Amino acid sequence: MVDPLPEMSTEQSDPRFSQIDRLPTEQIARLMNAADAAVPVAVAVAIPAISAAIDAIANQMAAGGRLLYVGAGTSGRLAVLDASECPPTFGTDPSLVQGIIAGGPDALTRSVEGAEDDADAGAATMAELEVGPLDSVVGISASGRAPFVLGAVTEAGRRGALTVGLSCNSDSPLSAAAAHAIEVVVGAEVVTGSTRLKAGTAQKLVLNMISTISMVRLGRTYGNRMIEVSAMNSKLADRAARMVGDITGADLDTARKALDEAGGQAKVAVVMIQHGLDAGGARARLEEHGERLGDALEKVNGT
């Protein structure tokens, strides 16, 4: 059997970078910057596939499902990073968006021998998490052939979950295993085979789109504002107060007072100010309108 690894674009050696060890630092930096500029272009080509996957994911989440990212090595670390940003940015429960890395938490800071190659472990992780038909599982692998990721995506599909494969090579096994294939072909790396570079940047850009747009579709922003943010530290408290003031037209003292009464929840404070409600009444109105601030304000204003 011929090893397919050397055939992959992410494993090719680019002659433009063959002498980087002999170049001055600024020239290497300019070469890397020029190489990185090709990444958004490659992502743009994949936007139709990305958009279709996001719409499917958002529908699953609206019905009560979770979003689970699965990766190994750099891809796994990016998975954990994107998932960990959702609670502070969008006020989600940590269980709603989860990042899973082959080898577990230890693999976040060091290589875990053989973890990426264990397809059975990937499948077992889906079983442990009781993945089901409402869930969405996004497998992430630059090569598109990491056994742990393939095992997880295959098992998730068998359990009826929505599956997405994000890779940086064409016609990969991951694309074949997933219901939605996202292929962002970025080509050879500056350092041959170091897919933490262009491939990693491409994956991060796509994950930004998946999590952010899904949350927008779920009503967890108001316009482009992070309305679900909770004022849990001084920076966030100041940001929330300015946001509440901008939306309602209230002065900062009024915004801060409402935020304090709302337990730091910005959207509750907005409804309190706009409609003269206490925190309990504001929460009830938001619940009545599916926690969507825009719907709550518009429907109330229309009565």
Q: What is the CATH number of the domain that holds 198?
A: 3.40.50.10490
> Which pLDDT score, from 0 to 100, does residue 113 have?
72
88 and 172 co-located in one domain: yes
Number of domains in the chain: 2
Residue 287 lies in a domain: yes
Q: What is the dihedral of CA 62, 102, 195, 155, to 10 degrees?
A: -50
Q: Range of 293's domain?
A: 234-301
pLDDT score of 298 = 78
Structural domain includes residue 1? no
> Does 116 qualify as catalytic in the annotation?
yes
Q: Are residues 213 and 121 in the same domain?
A: yes
Q: Is residue 224 part of a domain?
A: no
11 is a domain residue: yes
Residue 29 lies in a domain: yes
- Tell me which of 25-34, 105-114, 119-128, 208-217 is least confident: 105-114
Residue 36 Cα distances to 20, 114, 125, 200, angstroms: 16, 30, 34, 11
178 plus 43 within the same structural domain? yes
Provide the 10 A C-beta neighbour count for residue 144: 28
Q: What are the C-alpha distances in Å from 185 to residues 8, 31, 153, 301?
A: 10, 19, 21, 48
Distance CA 249, CA 287 (A): 24
Decide if 183 is catalytic: no
| Residue 238 and residue 123 share a domain | no
Q: What is the pLDDT of residue 191?
A: 87
228 in any annotated domain: no
Last residue in a domain, options 167, 192, 217:
217
User: Do 273 and 143 fall into the same domain?
Assistant: no
> In the listed set 164, 189, 217, which residue is the last one of a domain according to the structure?
217
Tell me the pairing of strands 67-71 and 97-101: parallel
The answer as to whether 229 is a domain residue is no
Among candidate residues 190, 217, 244, the one where a domain is terminated: 217
Do 84 and 36 share a structural domain? yes
Given 11, 85, 261, 291, which residue is catalytic? 85
The one catalytic residue in 7, 26, 113, 116 is: 116
Q: How confident is the model at residue 3 (pLDDT cuts 50, 70, 90)?
A: very low
Q: Determine the pLDDT at residue 14.
A: 80
**In the predicted model, is pLDDT for residue 25 greater than 50?**
yes
pLDDT at 15: 81
Residues 64 and 182 in one domain: yes
Maximum Cα–Cα distance across the chain:
72
Same domain, 207 and 271: no
Residue 2 predicted with pLDDT over 50: no
Residues 77 and 184 in one domain: yes
| 174 lies in the same domain as 249 | no
Mean pLDDT of all residues in 97-121: 91
Q: Is residue 222 part of a domain?
A: no
* Selected residue with higher pLDDT from 230 and 52: 52
- Let me know whether 286 and 187 are in one domain: no
For residue 4, the model assigns a pLDDT of 54
User: In this structure, what CATH number is given to the domain that contains residue 285?
Assistant: 1.10.8.1080
Do residues 88 and 181 both lie within one domain?
A: yes
